[in-house]
Structure 1
């Protein structure tokens, strides 16, 4: 019976400072796995020496393959590119910053062999992050849990193992506005968690500032929930009802008690309130309309500038 094949997909953007250390730790893990392993690095248009280092790793380690995207398409697209090019029985997705320990991969493989199609790594703690970032991350996952019909596991990033069946299912999902954590959950199949302590970044700087995290959160919510549209509808209904009741109250006071209708201040409050509600509703509708527009153009998710394939199987090489 042929040995099972495992691919490690590593999206990288400006990770030159940590790439060699990451690869050394990864190789130590792969050398001990009784699997035919290879590594696929995806350079997402890095501006530093990331691609040169990947080429160096590929020249030294025949298990290493590489994709260089034509520009920075974003992590979700880079991840998709890597998974599209996996030719193995399963794939592990892991970042190169060493916050997700490669030493956990054997535990993921163990659950895969137990029959699970998706084995995701869930953080029990997030070392090296500010309290505010931990709070906002927690609020995001809990909001997604309430808003979306698809259950996205709490405190879980992209670090996970996907079976061949799960990879084939993901390959059919070609939407342009991609929220991979949601897509991993949406495909279904048997899924389970492996828990770990997330470590601080070993070198380099995080690419996820608060603005980019906010954009990702909006992407996730609008990709897997129509709750904001329903909320805009109910806010509009409630505002109209309150405005109608307030109008009756003002009219009744004027007719029954001769109370003069106050002019400019109350009028401005009502106008600004209703105007704000309308702009909010239009903004929510605009987010969904913009995503529909992007999907309608049917542009490719990414373009590949260079590609290098692994030259040897894991059994033919030891680091």
Structure 2
């Protein structure tokens, strides 16, 4: 039988762990002709998440726990879980159970039809606030407009990938990782299964508005240089406008003579161009910063301990 690896990052999910295993394990056991393992990555939790995960792994050898040295963020924790997975098929999953575990069997059915990647697409975003629905739609629209790599709309990390796809992901050397983009970049034969997402079973989301904004910036700068190119076009347009303005002033001076220019219009022009230049420098800084971090060649994450089948490994 094939082995399915469910890869799950955990960060301060103490309240959700009991519900998680009570729902996920029966759903995985119901998949015919499929063994499974659950790879749990503790991403530097400050509550008793790690202790609860280790206790489950001691009772059930199908549960493995990877304890990172600190909180590296969800993208790094997800990378660690995928790297540690041993399965023939790998399914990234969230601990909050907003994605129904029963959907996993449908993903497996599509994989058995010959697909390498099976995307779980949200049929709607009714569980989100109106503001989050609008910002999510704007992100997908803008990202896919400026990037050569298109991200499927309303598709998160929840998906099934074959071992061949995961091995391809491991070849990508980025340390600043935008996993949705990396998943899309590798390609392979892909299909989509729609589902309805529900509310969290317990706990609170770890993504604030500020974190989501930075996450969106990471997506834009990871897969497109158009934000840099825009400033070339904008600078060219301003330069052309300045030349036309200069030509107009010369002609007007020859025809009407010299007048006293307005200070307000001059100050406005200086402040406008100064602001545009600072924004351009900021965009350039985002890319220089990425080069700076990538040049360090630091690992994406560090593992402190591995817990499996009642044993502990460094």
Q: How many residues align?
A: 309
Partner of 2:26: 28
Gaps of 5+ in 2: none
Return structure 1 stretches of 4+ with deviation > 3 angstroms. none
**RMSD value over aligned CA atoms?**
1.3
Gaps of 5+ in 1: 312-319
Distance 2:89 2:45 in 1: 27
Cα shift at 1:248: 2.7
Partner of 1:10: 8
Partner of 2:242: 243
Cα shift at 1:72: 0.5
Distance 2:243 2:275 in 1: 17
Partner of 1:316: none
Partner of 2:229: 230
Q: Secondary structure in 2 aligned to 1:102?
A: coil
TM-score by length of structure 2 reads: 0.95
Distance 1:149 1:190 in 2: 18
Partner of 1:78: 77
Distance 1:76 1:9 in 2: 12
Distance 1:254 1:16 in 2: 76
Cα shift at 1:245: 2.1
Cα shift at 1:259: 5.6
TM-score by length of structure 1 reads: 0.94
Partner of 1:315: none
Distance 1:261 1:156 in 2: 60
Deviations 1:209-228 (A, max 9, x none): 11111111110111111110
Aligned 8 A contact 2:58 2:308 in 1: no
User: Larger deviation: 246-255 or 230-239?
Assistant: 246-255
Distance 2:35 2:188 in 1: 24
1:120 matches 2:90: no
Cα shift at 1:48: 1.2
Partner of 1:271: 270
Q: Secondary structure in 1 aligned to 2:206?
A: coil
Distance 1:291 1:108 in 2: 35
Aligned 8 A contact 1:222 1:288 in 2: yes
